[in-house]
Structure 1
Amino acid sequence: MSNNLSSETVGVAPDYSKKECWCKLPEISKDVDTFYIYATEYIMGSFAEGAPDFASLDNTEMLQGAEAEYNLHASAYVDSTNLFMPYYRQSGLKYAGEMARKTGTADAAFEGMPINDITAALDYYFENYNGGRPFIIAGHSQGSAMVLVLLRTYFKDHPEYYSRMVAAYPIGYSVTDEYLAANPHLKFATGETDTGVIIAWNTEGPKNLETNAHNLVVLPNTRSINPLNWKLDETYAPASMNLGSLMANEETGEPEIKDVGADAQINLARGVVITNAKGEPMDEETANAAAEFFGPDGRHNEDYLFFYNNIKDNVAKRVAAFMREKNPIWNTGCRKM
């Protein structure tokens, strides 16, 4: 679909009954859905003089970024699920950084307009699109921060929806011990196929660990699960366990599945996944901005890319496990009509 949103939706709350307010609306062909919330795509434009704190629905940088994120991140869910992805008026990276410096986390930047838009999209999705199917809720970065808000608020208030949640993948944001203690209805994943759980990690290179670098998305007492061996301890997962990374072809720039040596090991003290794989090349301006927000050896942009095929495989396994647990009739080859 075109990214040209109608003028009446620009600068005001999106109307999710209109298809142009959705980045992706699927043809229903699977028995499980994914509701995906994209990351901060209003990035460099947010630093321009006089730029607003939030992106309007016609913000070109955000629209193009959301489409790219579908191809590079959200597409990992498409083989197993019907993927729904709404547009929303998101916080810019500059404003998120300002809030983090003031409060210790970027969470305040996502309150108000962004979470209100996403809540409205979720309401419309459940009332008009979901049809009672099980679902995954997923995102990256800012999108994952809002997944975590929704898990502790919206889904606590809607247990009838929450009971159908296969899993939540708020990748690239911190799930802390304090968050889990305050929300006992939520559980962090303990393995490869448990369901109704939170699956998350933040990825860094060795230098961030060595220098205890500041990283906007890494909070104290955060947890990660290893996306290669699906363990919570510091067991090293070699790159031979990686089923394929989604990286740019050096000649064409198009994404392709490659072996880039993306290994993974949790560092429990910092609560992150450490990899020795190198990130995608960046121009100097982008690299400097990334280092300021995610540390000199951050791998935030590669949270999905390095482990793309392992994520895709894991989604399929959790969906299958959920169907076995919740819908035993499916094991007979029959389906409820």
Structure 2
Amino acid sequence: MIRKISCCVFLMVLASCKSVHTVSTFQKKDIPVAPNYESERNWAVLPNTYSEGLKEFASQEMDTLKADVFYIYPTLNIETEDIRWNVPIADRIQQNKVLNKVVLFQASAFTTAGKLYVPYYRQAHLRSYSRLDQGGEKALLIAYSDVKKAFEVYLRKYNKGRPIIIASHSQGATHAKFLLRDFFDDQPLQDKLIAAYIVGTVMKPDLFKTIQPMTSPKETGGFVGWNTYKKGHYPDKKDAFKGSVTTNPITWDAAKTTTLSQHKGFLYTNKNLYKKALKIEITDGLVWSTNPRFPLRIFMSFIRNYHVGDINLFWQDIRENAELRTNTWSQNN
């Protein structure tokens, strides 16, 4: 029963409903206190603060890793009864979600490619995307201001000239786009960019001046991105992702379809890795996936939007690709 409940939570966590709670228009007095990233307590993960759970997925020789990974997590405050526009970074419930959900099952994919850095940030509530004029835009800008300050501290205090992977999902990907624009695009730091995984958002190919979509598995210095749906299904707005960069997260090249044997592994919330679990088809703006093969796959039959699994579904594929790109960058620099 516990596993069934866990599956339902995993698959339906991003489903949104109309709130029956009264949400006030955004007001400055309600903005949570800004974090100071000089303090380690305002970071969910630093290389010296890996949790025991994260260590299970991390490189056993972390000191030998030559790259860094700056990870920005997806929207986690989605409850309709939460009327806040931004969640304080000291919120224990939010911190628990960060550490025990997305760090473990998303960011962990990158821990053999580089040392992991994950700042807490005053994340905007899910409603911000649908209520931009009522306060959503301001809430998202506050969230990004934290990510930006954290990255500035990271560069000054921790980076020490090491190459960088930017990893992100959903709201995290929204902020990652701004981060690339402000620090990498047509700037010297682009030379240190191994790759940017900007997943679960619209990514137009001409979004940046000098950072381009990557179309081969060994390519470096650019970005990849995709949005996952069940095969044959579309978003409510059918053309929502039309024209968006759609990377094949299994082959990492121009292949439009894959076989079961090519899929390297789906990491489920029981920490088991399911290999050869799905096939995909690349369509305009979308990765169409078959129903993944794992013990509780029956629950997936009712889900059309696989957004919550954008990274988990291809966890081992991403892990090996991040290692490959990092090794390629090191060999060429």
Structure 2: runs of 5 or more not aligned: 1-30, 49-61
With over 3 angstroms needed to count, the CA separation of the structure-2 counterparts of 1:84 and 1:191, relative to structure 1, is same
After the TM superposition, list the runs of 4 or more consecutive aligned residues in structure 1 that deviate by more than 6 angstroms.
279-282
Alpha-carbon distance in structure 2 between the residues aligned to 1:94 and 1:110:
10
With over 3 angstroms needed to count, the CA separation of the structure-2 counterparts of 1:87 and 1:237, relative to structure 1, is same
Tell which has more relative contact order, 1 or 2 (C-alpha 8 A, sep 6+): 2
- Structure 1 residue aligned with 2:227: 202
Alpha-carbon distance in structure 1 between the residues aligned to 2:311 and 2:166:
15
- Structure 1 residue aligned with 2:304: 297
Equivalent of 2:197 in 166, 169, 173: 169
Equivalent of 1:321 in 320, 328, 332: 328
Identity %: 24
Alpha-carbon distance in structure 2 between the residues aligned to 1:168 and 1:118:
15
Alpha-carbon distance in structure 2 between the residues aligned to 1:183 and 1:243:
31
Alpha-carbon distance in structure 1 between the residues aligned to 2:126 and 2:315:
24
SS in 2 for 1:108: helix
Q: Deviations over 1:27-76 (max 9, x none)?
A: 462110000001101111xx216x11111112233212211111000001
Equivalent of 1:143 in 172, 185, 198: 172
- Structure 1 residue aligned with 2:25: none
Per the normalisation by structure 1, the TM-score is: 0.78
Alpha-carbon distance in structure 2 between the residues aligned to 1:93 and 1:77:
25
**Is the contact made by 1:135 and 1:165 (CA closer than 8 Å) also made in structure 2?**
yes
1:233 CA drift (Å): 4.8
Map 1:1-337 onto structure 2 (within 5 A): 11-27=32-48, 29=63, 30-44=65-79, 47-48=80-81, 51-67=83-99, 68-99=101-132, 108=137, 111-156=140-185, 159-177=187-205, 180=206, 182-209=207-234, 213-214=236-237, 218-234=240-256, 236-248=257-269, 254-259=270-275, 261-268=277-284, 271-278=285-292, 297-326=304-333
Count of aligned residue pairs for this structure pair = 285
**Is the contact made by 1:107 and 1:145 (CA closer than 8 Å) also made in structure 2?**
no
Alpha-carbon distance in structure 1 between the residues aligned to 2:194 and 2:143:
24
With over 3 angstroms needed to count, the CA separation of the structure-2 counterparts of 1:92 and 1:113, relative to structure 1, is same
With over 3 angstroms needed to count, the CA separation of the structure-2 counterparts of 1:303 and 1:13, relative to structure 1, is same
Per the normalisation by structure 2, the TM-score is: 0.78
**Is the contact made by 1:21 and 1:87 (CA closer than 8 Å) also made in structure 2?**
yes
Q: Deviations over 1:155-206 (max 9, x none)?
A: 237x2322101010011111114xx1x5221100111110001011111112
What amino acid does structure 2 have at the position aligned with 1:266? Answer: I
1:208 CA drift (Å): 2.1
Report the RMSD for the aligned CA atoms in angstroms: 2.8
**Is the contact made by 1:172 and 1:300 (CA closer than 8 Å) also made in structure 2?**
yes
Q: Deviations over 1:103-134 (max 9, x none)?
A: 9xx99366421111011000000000001111
